[in-house]
């Protein structure tokens, strides 16, 4: 039995998709356990670039079962579009299973997300506007509608009518927008059900059985540690548990079934949406990272904020997730810099912080303290062994390992699968 979690150590967009895709070649199952179509990863099939949002990275490997786990949100319209896209490229969707316990994103969640953000004005979170917060809020309030409800049309209709009684009050009286009609939603979702029904399963049972048969299961995190609802930079977070504990609750398995936890670290930092970012570079340095690293959102197309790697946050991610290995991505993007900075601690009101500050007011105001290392100023995209990397580059990697106290198992030097050093 082998369960392995791969998750992001930053604010998402660490390049988890590439590492998951690499590892997926050797596993029997890939499980997404939280989030919904706020996530996005790019899959390249020949000359075609596919953007996927719900479906795990393993889909490109025909032998891999791909699970949409209990803790996920499903927007049926979008997942069906993803399936159509895959089928149109000759990629089978027969291996996809959707948890009956996953919650549905309903049309009113999208409007509530948009209107809620508009109402917050300058204090907005900068959500992906996919309805994530409102759908998880309904789950917590125990008024959510689950995938299994699609299988019982009477119950489904009842739940939509009951939800709209409250939602329409909010839509009309607070946000001043049109109310929604239950019949329209029920009819729309009935059509989706016809196509989705055959994918619905008791995924927690199937995952456990697969692990008990001695097979390998990969748990693929979405977003990242700093966007976790409990441990991230709240309130500028997503609404699910994107850290290692979430892999168990969001899949319906016990923690003892996990053997390895790998954290993906981009060689620099990015963030989309609002919120504090101590090592952010708003000028030329950030612009260079954005252009070379093509740092634009897969889901929303928004330019990502860029800055230097922050090892205070990395140490935090190591601790919160219990990481035993790291994967470094996009190292090749730093090729043009004379000097590479690493944020190693923060200063605030004369006090130094080597650990993530316990109060958000401190974190919002800290000044980053950097260590500077020489850049390698060369193309490393052809390196296939650690020894092929320039000395300066090796030094940067070793310094991060030393501070994080966890080894890099993968070092990615380009987008292609082959452009990876596996240690
Ligand atoms: P939500 O998940 O759409 O509610 O957005 C909440 C915050 O998480 C916003 O700052 C988003 O930009 C961020 N976020 C959500 N999903 C992702 C992701 O996949 N990558 C990076 N940021 C994300």
Q: What is the pLDDT of residues 126-181, one digit of tens each?
A: 999 999 999 999 999 999 999 999 999 999 999 999 999 999 999 999 999 999 99
- Rounded Cα–Cα distance for residues 28 and 33 (Å): 16
Q: Look at residue 299 in the predicted model and tell me its pLDDT.
A: 79
Report residue 369's pLDDT band, with 50, 70 and 90 as the boundaries: very high
Give the confidence band of 1 by pLDDT, cuts at 50, 70, 90.
Answer: low
- Burial class of residue 304, CB neighbours in 10 A (0-12, 13-18, 19+): buried
pLDDT digits (tens, 9 = 90+) for 204-261: 999 999 999 999 999 999 999 999 999 999 999 999 999 999 999 999 999 999 999 9
pLDDT at 43 over 80: no
**Mean of per-residue pLDDT scores for the chain:** 96
d(C-alpha 265, C-alpha 263), whole Å = 6
Beta partners for residue 44, in sequence order = 49
DSSP letters spanning 77-134 = HHHHHHHHHHHHTT---TTEEEETTSEEPPHHHHHHHHHHHHHHGGG-----SSSHHH
Length of the chain: 423
Model confidence over 65-113: pLDDT tens digits?
999 999 999 999 999 999 999 999 999 999 999 999 999 999 999 999 9
Q: Of these residues, 21, 28, 41, 113, which one is catalytic?
A: 41
Task: Provide the token pair at 117.
Answer: 């953000």
Q: Could you tell me the pLDDT band of residue 269, with boundaries at 50, 70 and 90?
A: very high
Ligand 1 mean position to 106 CA, how many Å?
A: 18
Mutate to test the pocket of ligand 1, among 238, 242, 280 (most ligand atoms within 8 A of CB): 238
pLDDT value of residue 42: 81
Give the residues surrounding ligand 1 with Cβ less than 6 Å away.
11-13, 38-40, 125-128, 130, 132-133, 222-223, 227, 236, 238-239, 272-273
CB 26 within 8 A of CB 216: yes
For the segment 359-363, the average pLDDT, to the nearest whole number, is 95
355: pLDDT strictly greater than 90: yes
Q: Answer yes or no: 13 catalytic.
A: yes
What are the tokens at 111? Answer: 């409007």
Nearest CA to ligand 1 atom 2: 238
Residue nearest to atom 11 of ligand 1 (CA): 127
**In 165-258, which ranges are E strands?**
200-201, 216-220
Q: From the CB of residue 49, how many other CB atoms can be counted at a distance below 10 Å?
A: 9
At residue 41, the pLDDT reads 86
Nearest to 31 by CA among 50, 7, 1, 62: 7
pLDDT at res. 19: 94
Strand (E) or helix (H) holding 184: helix 182-196
In this prediction, residue 223 carries a pLDDT of 97
**Does the pLDDT of residue 44 top 90, yes or no?**
no
Per DSSP, 35 falls in state: B
Ligand 1 centroid to Cα of residue 39, in Å, is 7
Q: Tokens 């380009």 correspond to what residue?
A: 414
Task: Flag whether pLDDT at 45 surpasses 90.
Answer: no
- Tell me phi and psi for residue 140, to 5 degrees: -65, -30
231 is catalytic: no
> Which atom of ligand 1 lies at the shortest distance from residue 302's CA?
12
Largest Cα–Cα distance of the chain, in whole Å? 66
pLDDT in tens, 317-353: 999 999 999 999 999 999 999 999 999 999 999 999 9
Q: What is the pLDDT of residue 282?
A: 96
In this structure, the strands spanning 2-8 and 260-266 are parallel
Query: DSSP class of residue 105?
Result: P
DSSP for 251-303 reads TT--GGG--EEEEEEESSEEE-SSS--TTB--SHHHHHHHHHTT-B-TTT-PB
The C-alpha atoms of residue 122 and residue 112 are separated, in whole angstroms, by: 17
């Amino acid at each position: 039995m082998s369960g392995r979690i791969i998750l992001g150590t930053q604010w998402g967009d660490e390049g988890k998709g590439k590492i998951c895709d690499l590892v997926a070649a050797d596993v029997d199952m890939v499980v997404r356990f939280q989030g919904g179509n706020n996530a996005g990863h790019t899959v390249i099939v020949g000359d075609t670039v596919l953007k996927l949002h719900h479906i795990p990275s393993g889909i490109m490997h025909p032998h891999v079962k791909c699970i949409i786990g209990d803790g996920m949100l499903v927007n049926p319209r979008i997942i069906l579009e993803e399936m159509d896209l895959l089928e149109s490229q000759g990629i089978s969707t027969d291996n996809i299973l959707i948890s009956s316990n996953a919650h549905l994103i309903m049309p009113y969640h999208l409007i509530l997300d948009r209107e809620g953000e508009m109402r917050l004005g300058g204090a907005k979170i900068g959500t992906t506007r996919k309805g994530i917060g409102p759908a998880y809020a309904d789950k917590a309030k125990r008024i959510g509608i689950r995938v299994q409800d699609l299988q019982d049309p009477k119950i489904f209709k009842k739940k939509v009518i009951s939800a709209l009684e409250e939602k329409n009050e909010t839509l009309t009286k607070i946000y001043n927008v049109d109310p929604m009609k239950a019949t329209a939603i029920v009819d729309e979702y009935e059509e989706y059900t016809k196509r989705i029904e055959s994918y619905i399963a008791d995924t927690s049972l199937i995952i456990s059985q697969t692990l008990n048969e001695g097979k390998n299961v990969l748990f693929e995190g979405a977003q990242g540690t700093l966007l976790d609802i409990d441990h991230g930079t709240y309130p500028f977070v997503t609404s699910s548990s994107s850290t290692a504990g979430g892999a168990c609750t969001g899949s319906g398995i016990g923690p003892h079934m996990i053997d390895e936890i790998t954290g993906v670290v981009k060689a620099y930092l990015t963030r989309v949406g609002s919120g504090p970012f101590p090592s952010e570079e708003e000028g030329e340095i950030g612009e260079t990272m954005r252009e070379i690293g093509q740092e634009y959102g897969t889901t929303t197309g928004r330019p990502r904020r860029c800055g230097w790697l922050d090892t205070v946050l990395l140490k935090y991610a190591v601790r919160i997730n219990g990481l035993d290995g790291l994967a470094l991505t996009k190292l090749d993007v730093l090729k043009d810099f004379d000097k590479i900075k690493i944020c190693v601690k923060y200063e605030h009101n004369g006090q130094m912080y080597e650990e993530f500050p316990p109060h958000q007011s401190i974190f919002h105001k800290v000044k980053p303290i950097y260590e500077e290392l020489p850049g390698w100023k060369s193309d490393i995209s052809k390196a296939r062994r650690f020894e092929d990397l320039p000395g300066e580059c090796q030094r940067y990697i070793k310094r991060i390992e030393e501070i994080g106290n966890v080894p890099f198992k993968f070092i990615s030097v380009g987008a292609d699968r082959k452009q990876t050093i596996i240690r």
